[in-house]
Structure 1
């Protein structure tokens, strides 16, 4: 079991904790990116700050120590950490989204089936777990049958198969994965201990960017899954998924929007510091430099405004709970898709342009060598946004706007 400090409950205090951790990560971000090691040290810093339990509510029955923050607050924390280190921001974003799995699968109050296992977010806070995995089925481009479940002789299931994951599998305390029972189309969401001898993890090698997320491929060989570790079911028919359950992929996508936004804002702030330090005279003497920063700052403000609108709307949607309607869910999906499209485009464009502005600048810290290291921001932005499909998002937004359709918006990808 991992140990972690209880997340700070005072809003002013948590902001200071996040800011101090971001400052700490920024000091050696370039060196850690070059080393490309498993993010064990980064996870330890997160645990010591109490941030893995930040989004989870405290549950006295299970000894939970969560902060109980809402989605808006969690996005703010992810964004600030991503400005210092995009990999750590993404790692935490996936953890936050997964920690809410039970909330989206429990069903309306009064309908939840009795089970021995406490709700995942409370247990995560109590145990100090870091979560990895995915609750969505693998994309069609992934080779192989994915993960499968077969009935065990003494009840429960046996989990087999392999799947690649974008974050934290090399350092996670628990894995949350979906697998298909033989003979059915529905997916079961299950919790797995990666320390089991039937679980093996191969770290992703030679990644272009986001090198410290702990990404990798996990192989499961006859791993027992007791009934109490089945968190819920996702129907194979996407139209049978409750609108509130359909918010789960939107939460992750929005958190990753804030990772991209943080990467762009971090690159812009560091470039400003480099240009100020490197300028032989008053930077105000260079009208082209002022024009460049004016354009880049405006682009960052524009992306932030779109992301924040989606964040406010999705936060309200989560508060609506199980009474959320199909049309409301579609409207939220449009806002998240717009935020992904705008932020992804601007993050890549902004970090690319910054490489030109600081091309010949020396490093800010003496002895670090190799220039200011701004390729890290570009690589991280490129790797993060390459997974999205902007043309698909724009098509779905257009279909919804022109025809009122939300069939495609019911899907996560």
Structure 2
């Protein structure tokens, strides 16, 4: 009896917990965007409308506690959906990285009045972008916050400002006198200009370009002083930032599997053989698809396992030790996940010979996007630091702790000449 050629569709996504309005919006975006990412990347079509739809459906408020007007979701709830968004379009998922780190920083923040105000804003549907990097020969920050007769003003130029072109507010580092501070700036102010000049070969729609701040008013309460007190909170936020990148890579692996299967299934001959030979029945092709499938599944499992651990560790009484343990776990995952995703997005081309590299299929975008994400943070440096920890018990600091007291701002604002 001949084998049936009827092929079932891939199973639809099932989240461990439902948030009906948000999940409906994600399903709708999946139906509209999944098959057009290749063209949108090619034509540089930014994602303003999909970002606003997600914010309107509550994605930016998923981690905001219910008492502050949010959805009260766990990190696992968030990262399940982030992986799915990345499978739809990794650019779209990556846009939210700064916002995700900002909100989780608020959730654990000790300055409740400041954090509560921003949690309420986040629940209203705003997006907070991230603008930390500057182009210089040293690590010195050139952006400055200066006291004036009209209050504090921010000026400076930032690069690689992922998500800021879509944002309502932007979190960035600056100098205030002799202090290094974080500040939150109003992205709608005329003195803020974000330019889509990111020239990387991957993740082209994230808005990771240049943002210029020119005499932008800053509220005293929104100046966040760096603290030398080592409570580990910065390590936790650094872990969330890193896990966001890993979740996007897991989504890329899922998309690579989907597109590889879509490439193979309709083909009627396999490379290297004359006549008709269905590739989906070929053992070597099946083996490649099996490897890509395994990589995609493992990547998602690693991210969600790490998210569950972060949720658990965050509730422990010994916060300092818990936050460091959380960071260590995520940075161990960082040593493994990008490698298996990059291997999978390279090996998938083995299913189709020269035809698989056709621009019309766009299978190369999965590797380009995964490679770009894997280049963001120093995995090799962290690998060595993990080894040092295991051998000598020395814990490297990968995140910088801060306390949002506004103390530096208050001091500067009342200084002579302010």
Instruction: Flag whether TM exceeds 0.5 (same fold).
Output: yes
- Aligned residue pair count: 378
> Is 1:103 aligned to 2:107, yes or no?
yes
**Distance of 1:118 and 1:174 partners within structure 2:** 16
User: Does the CA contact (< 8 Å) of 2:144 and 2:174 recur in 1?
Assistant: yes
Counterpart of 1:35 in structure 2 is 43
Counterpart of 1:223 in structure 2 is 216
- 3-state SS of paired residue (1:200): strand
Structure 2, unpaired ranges of 5+: 1-16, 270-276, 402-418
**Bigger radius of gyration among the two:** 2
Q: CA deviation at 1:192?
A: 1.1
Counterpart of 1:74 in structure 2 is 78
User: Does the CA contact (< 8 Å) of 1:59 and 1:122 recur in 2?
Assistant: no
2:321 is aligned, of 318, 323, 327, to: 327
**Distance of 2:157 and 2:213 partners within structure 1:** 6
TM-score w.r.t. the length of structure 2 is 0.81
After superposition, where does 1:173-252 map in structure 2 within 5 Å?
A: 173-184=168-179, 187-230=180-223, 232-235=224-227, 237=228, 240-252=229-241
After superposition, where does 1:277-292 map in structure 2 within 5 Å?
A: 277-280=266-269, 281-283=277-279, 285-292=281-288
After superposition, where does 1:117-132 map in structure 2 within 5 Å?
A: 118-126=116-124, 128-132=125-129
User: Does the CA contact (< 8 Å) of 2:134 and 2:157 recur in 1?
Assistant: no
User: Does the CA contact (< 8 Å) of 2:238 and 2:398 recur in 1?
Assistant: no
**Distance of 2:211 and 2:268 partners within structure 1:** 49
**Distance of 1:247 and 1:143 partners within structure 2:** 22
Q: CA deviation at 1:295?
A: 2.5
**Distance of 1:142 and 1:199 partners within structure 2:** 25
Counterpart of 2:5 in structure 1 is none
TM-score w.r.t. the length of structure 1 is 0.82
User: Does the CA contact (< 8 Å) of 1:200 and 1:219 recur in 2?
Assistant: yes
Cα shift readout 1:118-152 (whole Å, capped 9, x = no counterpart): 531221222x2121015x67698677633221222
> Are residues 162 and 137 of structure 1, via their aligned partners in 2, closer, same or farther at CA, if it must alter by over 3 Å?
closer
2:149 is aligned, of 148, 153, 159, to: 153
- 3-state SS of paired residue (2:165): coil
Cα root mean square deviation, aligned: 2.8
Q: CA deviation at 1:253?
A: 0.8
After superposition, where does 1:357-368 map in structure 2 within 5 Å?
A: 357-358=351-352, 360-361=354-355
Structure 1, unpaired ranges of 5+: 1-8, 364-368
**Distance of 2:302 and 2:75 partners within structure 1:** 16
